[in-house]
Structures are given as structure tokens and as C-alpha cells.
Structure 1
Amino acid sequence: MTEPVPILMYHSIARSPNDATRALSVSPEAFAEQMALLDDRGFTPLDTARLASSWRSGGPLPARPVLITFDDGYEGVHLHGLPALAKYGFASTLFVSTGWIRGASDTGGGLDVMLGWDQVRRLAGEQMEIGGHSHTHPQLDQIADDALWFELLRCKEIIADELGARPVSFAYPYGYSSPRVRRTVREAGFAQSLAVGNGLSRRRQGPYALQRVTVRRTTGIEEFERLVEGRAITRTFARDRALTKGYAMVRRARQVRRKAIRSRV
């Protein structure tokens, strides 16, 4: 039986985040302290592809594996995250919403200052796997099939064009998915995908529903240690789970209502 693995979900790293990203940002000092703790406790950071490959093949994992992941593509990952990761030689994964990355394919919509493709290329050269996070960051389970395919294939195409390699890992925007979304992600050529769930990742979750734990601006170092050690996760995220469950019911009701309206047109 395989041991559960903590997958940490970060967003922005910033000293002065804006209102849109504040709750899910961490300060550069906090991030550096968290990376130092991982090193001190003997954790071995992996990228997403390595974990999924090991679980598929039944191959061994290194001692105390952990995943460090970033969503969206904020510039602070390069400015503040990379120095701390490079100090310890840590691997990680960055999931980019390609329409938010500064450059020719920028559609706008980024919530703060976003990375440019030159910065993404540098990160890719520093043990950071670059994965997909859709093109424009919609709630994938709320959009039609043609829009879903566009979000996945356009994201994959841009990353391949910019980096010279197709992404193999994906993370659902907002953590939302459904059987249809997971099936389409697989058919689009992604080998694994991450949700949220705020629980430890386990092999039995399957490669397209691996859970992560959220690291926030309010996550102190003692709480962070409990998260990576797998202690008191259920209690830490009890309120989140209740809110998520309630919101999921609201979203399902909206989806049913939209389908009913479309069927009458």
C-alpha cells in the first residue's frame, strides 16, 4: 500500500498582493521559510509527472516525497519563488493559464502581474515542470464541449510552441471538474491532472483527481508543518470543505437549470 503524498498548492508569491490575489498569496519570506522547513525535515520535492509515473508503474518514490505546485502563472513565482527553490535544488510544477501569460497569446484577465514567456522558459530550465491550467481559466465543468476542447487544446498548443515540449500534467481551474471534464482532459493528451480537495494525494484517487492542500497567506509555519506531515488536515480545512460542498450544490442546480433552458430553445 502506497503512502499518501502532500501536494502543496500555491498561487501568488508577493509582498503587496492586490485584493484579488491576497488570500491565496504568500509572502516571499513565508515561502522561503516553508522551503527551509521541507529541507530540514528531509522532504524530497518531485514534479507532478514524476509522482504520477511512479504510481502508474508501481516504481519506488524517494524518501518523504512532496509536490510544490503553483497555479495561474504569477510573476512572483519567478521573482521570489525561484531563488528559494534553487537554493535547495527543489523540483516543482507550474500550471499556466496560457491566455494570462504576457505575450502574443495574452487575452487579458490575469488577476495580478503575470509571468512572461521568457520567465516561464527560465523556470522550465530550473527543475520546474510546466503544466496546463486552461487558456482563459474558466470553470471547466460549466462550459460546453466545444469550449472545453478549445480551452484544453489551445493551452496545450501554446505551451508546446513556446517551450518546445507538450505539457503532460494539468490542473483544473478553481479545482472544479466532472467525469466529462476528466475524460476530456485525458483525451486531450494530458497524462494526469490535479484537483484541490484539501487532502493528501493517494494513488487510489486515480491520475485525474489527485488532491492538493492549499497554502494561504494566513498559513503560519506551524500549520504548514502540520499540512506536510499530514496531521490535522481534516480539521484545518473543515470550514473549506463545508463551503465547497454547499457551493457544489448551488453550481449543480445552476447547471441543471441551464440544461433545462437549452432543451426548451
Structure 2
Amino acid sequence: MIQPYTPDVSLKGKLRRRLARLTHRRPARLDLDRPVVSFTFDDIPASAAHAGAQALEKHGARGTFYVCAGLFGRDGHMGRFANAAEISALIHQGHEVAGHTLDHVDCHRTAPAALEADLDANDLALRGLGAAPLHFAYPYGEVSPRAKKQLGARYASLRGVHKALVHDGGDRNQLPGVGIEGPDGEALTRAWIDRAVAERAWLILYTHDVRETPSPWGCTPDALDRLIDHARTAGCDIRTVGEVLAA
């Protein structure tokens, strides 16, 4: 059983993550005709690969799934993680599969050589399933200037967990993300969608498990369905991370 991990929540850790936002920046060039929302999933519990993907497909949309191949089929605090066959099915259904390290490691605490080996192994596993892992999300949102520089040399974008919208010139190496999680997750996410509409900006959402009794890091299928519907009704395009940046 994989247990929860506690990232650095000290003042030093918070300052490090803020400092990283000022370093090794790579601007995203956006020319949005309409507000855009990307629905993304981290770690990929099996419930996200099924209920999460199905909610998007119901609305004719696709999501970005940040995958750790080292977790395939294992049990954890968010339920069973998806296996290789389930990730392969996501690819065939048109979803985007991206990197999240092999073993869900803290990119700040992992030595550069060990991190590079972990990334190589994960990317190789995902390519073997037919994915092109061009994008990446920092596990736990843990980032430092050194890790950001190393990862920025490998991937077309890197997503964190600090809450903000993305406008033209936003940093591809530390994209913000808003979590659909916790008891107030749906209401808070709805407010962020409305902000994206008002500012004609890009909003990146993330969650983990998608089930009737979610973990503190997940949401219910009904909540996800309502949020997708709200984004559509509010006039947002729903695109994968790669689609937004490629455009």
C-alpha cells in the first residue's frame, strides 16, 4: 500500500517554490479567442482513467493525464492506480498522457542524476504504450530552481499547483494549477472558471481520484461532470495542455 507523502510545508519550502517562479522562465505565447479550461489528472488512480475520462468524453472533450508508470496497478490512499492497459486505452481514446516521474518522486529532494534516470524510465514506459510524453507535472507541486532548469530542458511544459490563471507570457516551466479537491473544491473551481471567462484566460485544473467517496485529493464523478458542463456553458473551450500550447 502506497502511503501519503508530506511535501515541505515550512516557510523555507514556501519561499523556495516562490523563488522558483522567478527563475528559468519560458514564456507561453497565447492568443486566445475564447477562455480555455484544461482538465488534468495526476498520478492516475484507476477511477480517474475511467470515471474522469468518461466525464470528459460525455462532453466531447479530452484531458491531460500525468502518469507515473511505477505506480501501475498498485494500491494507494486514492484507490488502485491504473495499469498499463488502462493508460493505453486513454491514449487510444484521444486523451493526452504526460509525465509525472516513474515513482512519484519529489523533484527538489531527488539528486539530479537519480531524477534523470527516473524520468528516462518513465518516459520510456509511456512511449512503449504509444504516448509522446512532451509535458510534465511536478509531483506534490515540489519545485526548486535547480529542478526547474533540469526539467525545462526535457519537456514542453511543467505544471505546478500554485493557483493562478495563465495569460500570454505565462511561464511554461511552472504553469499554475487549481485543484478540484476537498469539500469546497467544486465551488472554488466554479469561481475560477468564471474568472477565466472574465479575463479570457487559460485555466488548468487538476484532481486525482474520481469516485463517489473520493480522497481529500479527489472529487466525485458528478462534481466533475457539473464543472465540465459549467465550463462549456460559460463559453470555454476545453483542450488538453498540449493542444493549448501547440496552438
* TM > 0.5 fold call: yes
Preserved contact between residue 132 and residue 169 of structure 1 (Cα < 8 Å)? yes
Residue by residue over 1:166-207, the C-alpha shift from the partner in whole angstroms, topping out at 9 and shown as x without a partner, is 3100000000111211121122x3111101102223343311
Which structure has the higher relative contact order (CA within 8 Å, separation 6+)?
2
CA distance in 1, matches of 2:138, 2:96: 16
Q: State the number of aligned residues.
A: 173
Q: Which moved more, 1:198-207 or 1:69-78?
A: 198-207
Structure 1 19/146 Cα, relative in aligned 2: closer, same or farther at 3 Å? Answer: closer
TM-score, scaled relative to structure 2: 0.63
What corresponds to 2:151 in structure 1? 185
**Counterpart among 89, 95, 110 of residue 60 in structure 2:** 89
List alignment gaps of at least 5 residues for structure 1.
1-17, 22-53, 103-107, 232-265
The question of whether the paired residues in 2 share the 8 Å contact of 1:90 and 1:127 is answered with no
Please point out which of 37, 44, 68 is paired with 1:66. 37
Identify if the C-alpha distance between structure 1 residues 144 and 109 changes in structure 2 by more than 3 Å, giving closer, same or farther: farther
1:77 aligned counterpart, secondary structure: helix
TM-superposed deviation, 1:67:
0.8
Aligned CA RMSD, in angstroms, stands at 2.5
Task: Name which one, 1 or 2, has greater alpha-carbon Rg.
Answer: 1
Contact between 1:201 and 1:212, CA under 8 Å: does it hold in 2?
A: no
Q: Secondary structure at the match of 1:70?
A: strand
Q: Could you tell me whether the CA contact under 8 Å between 1:157 and 1:166 is conserved in 2?
A: no
Write the distance in 2 (CA, Å) between the matches of 1:68 and 1:119: 18
1:76 matched to which residue of 2? 47
Q: How far 1:125 sits from its partner (Å)?
A: 2.2
Aligned residue for 2:161, secondary structure, equals: strand
The answer as to 2:126 corresponding to 1:155 is no
What residue in structure 1 maps to residue 194 of structure 2? 229
Q: Share of identical aligned residues, percent? A: 24
- How far 1:148 sits from its partner (Å)? 1.2
C-alpha separation between the residues in 1 aligned to 2:186 and 2:175?
24
Seen in structure 2, the aligned counterparts of structure 1 residues 223 and 183 have a Cα distance that, compared at 3 Å, is closer
Contact conserved, 1:169 with 1:191, CA < 8 A, in 2? Answer: yes
Code of the aligned partner of 1:83: Q
TM-score by length of structure 1 reads 0.59
8 Å Cα contact 2:53-2:63 kept in structure 1: no
- Pick the aligned partner of 2:69 from 72, 84, 98: 98
